[in-house]
């Protein structure tokens, strides 16, 4: 009986030890995975209220203004990047450009402004159109040191080399001028031959606008009326997810989805300017190197 008792207790200790090892290993693996997910920002810490909101809950967008620009040496306020949408993928880099950089681009473009044109989706050629009533001009890529510095910042922001970007386009909208909703990706083969499809756009605001002039995404997903600046928008701006022009801010949005398919939610337009003037600069980015 004593022998049987000793033999009956040995498997019990092994079973208990094995179970403890399995539980400990599982907890260790779970802890390790949680740390990885936190590091990759797949999960978020509950102590960060800005990260705890749902991705498409637009009430989580913090509408902050930067005070004391003139007190900063280069005329630039605090900088931070904000996610405003995942459909389309869109981000605002606040105070991306300094006041001096904005004024430099405007003064450089002023002598060469002409009526803006659009791309004919059927032929791929440039044509005049009532859907775009602004004036504009193009600046060659790498034109001077200031332009090269701006293009380098765009490359750092997008993680896409400078060689994939077209030259900067400077645009001016006066009162009543607009750009009807459109896609930045090409729907013809002609324009994809030099550099491939356009994958992303960086829109830099070179001036403040008193009223109107918003960039609006009418097909974006989200509860647009919940954004904190809803009451500041024009009627056109309330037609979708809108970004108000603010000198120095840069809006990055992607025209293609992560799988490289066209993203119809990237449909966007420029609302009519109601009061003031709107200056902006656009950089289109291609899949392949763009031969300027």
Tens of pLDDT along 118-140? 777 666 667 677 788 899 999 99
What distance in Å separates the CA atoms of residue 207 and residue 177, rounded to the nearest whole number?
Answer: 15
What distance in Å separates the CA atoms of residue 54 and residue 90, rounded to the nearest whole number?
Answer: 16
Cβ(79)–Cβ(246) under 8 Å?
no
Tens of pLDDT along 254-285? 999 999 999 999 999 999 999 999 999 999 99
- Among 44, 2, 16, 61, smallest CA distance to 222 is for 61
13 CB-side CA count, 13 A? 6
* Structure token digits, residue 62: 């913090």
Cβ(270)–Cβ(244) under 8 Å?
no
Residue with the bigger pLDDT between 116 and 184: it is 184
What pLDDT, on a 0 to 100 scale, did the predictor assign at position 291? 85
Segment 168-184 shows an average pLDDT of: 96
Can you give the pTM of this predicted structure? 0.75
- pLDDT higher than threshold 90 for residue 10: no
Residue indicated by tokens 């509950």: 46
* Structure token digits, residue 20: 């403890």
What pLDDT, on a 0 to 100 scale, did the predictor assign at position 126? 73
pLDDT interval class at 177 (50, 70, 90): very high
Q: Going by C-beta distance under 8 Å and a sequence separation of 6 or more, which residues neighbour residue 100?
A: 74, 75
Cβ(158)–Cβ(251) under 8 Å?
no
Q: In the predicted model, what is the mean pLDDT of the chain?
A: 81
Tens of pLDDT along 25-71? 655 665 655 555 444 443 333 334 333 334 445 545 444 444 444 44
- pLDDT higher than threshold 60 for residue 14: no
What pLDDT, on a 0 to 100 scale, did the predictor assign at position 124? 64
Cβ(103)–Cβ(91) under 8 Å?
no
Segment 79-100 shows an average pLDDT of: 95
pLDDT interval class at 24 (50, 70, 90): low
What pLDDT, on a 0 to 100 scale, did the predictor assign at position 194? 87
According to DSSP, the residues that pair with 280 across neighbouring strands are 171, 205
What distance in Å separates the CA atoms of residue 201 and residue 243, rounded to the nearest whole number?
Answer: 14
Cβ(143)–Cβ(281) under 8 Å?
no
* Structure token digits, residue 252: 């990055």
Helix, strand and coil content of the chain, in percent to the nearest 5, comes to 30, 25, 45
CA distances from 161 to 98, 156, 186 (A): 22, 8, 21
What distance in Å separates the CA atoms of residue 81 and residue 284, rounded to the nearest whole number?
Answer: 19
Tens of pLDDT along 147-165? 999 999 999 999 999 999 9
What pLDDT, on a 0 to 100 scale, did the predictor assign at position 116? 84
- Among 59, 38, 186, smallest CA distance to 123 is for 186
Segment 202-221 shows an average pLDDT of: 97
């Amino acid at each position: 009986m004593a022998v049987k008792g000793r033999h009956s207790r040995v498997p019990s200790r092994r079973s208990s030890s094995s179970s403890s090892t399995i539980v400990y290993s599982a907890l260790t693996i779970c802890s390790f995975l949680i740390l990885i997910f936190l590091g990759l920002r797949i999960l978020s810490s509950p102590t960060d209220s800005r990260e705890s909101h749902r991705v498409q809950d637009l009430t989580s967008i913090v509408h902050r203004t930067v005070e004391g620009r003139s007190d900063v040496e280069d005329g630039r306020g605090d900088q931070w990047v904000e996610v405003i949408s995942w459909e389309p993928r869109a981000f605002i880099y606040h105070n991306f450009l300094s006041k001096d950089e904005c004024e430099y681009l405007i003064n450089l473009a002023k002598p060469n402004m002409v009526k803006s044109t659009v791309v004919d989706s059927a032929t791929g050629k440039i044509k005049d159109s009532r859907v775009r009533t602004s004036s504009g001009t193009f600046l060659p890529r790498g034109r001077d040191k200031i332009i090269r510095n701006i293009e380098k910042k765009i490359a750092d922001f997008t993680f896409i080399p400078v060689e994939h970007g077209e030259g900067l386009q400077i645009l001016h909208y006066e009162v009543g001028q607009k750009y009807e909703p459109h896609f930045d990706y090409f729907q013809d083969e002609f324009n994809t031959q030099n550099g491939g499809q356009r994958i992303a756009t960086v829109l830099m605001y070179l001036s403040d606008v008193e009223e109107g002039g918003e960039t609006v995404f009418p097909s974006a997903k989200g509860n647009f009326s919940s954004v904190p600046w809803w009451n500041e928008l024009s009627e056109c701006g309330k037609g979708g997810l809108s970004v108000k022009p603010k000198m120095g801010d840069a809006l990055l949005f992607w025209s293609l989805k992560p799988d490289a398919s066209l993203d119809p939610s990237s449909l966007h337009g420029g609302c009519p300017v109601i009061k003031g003037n709107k200056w902006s600069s656009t950089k289109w980015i291609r899949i392949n190197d763009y031969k300027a």
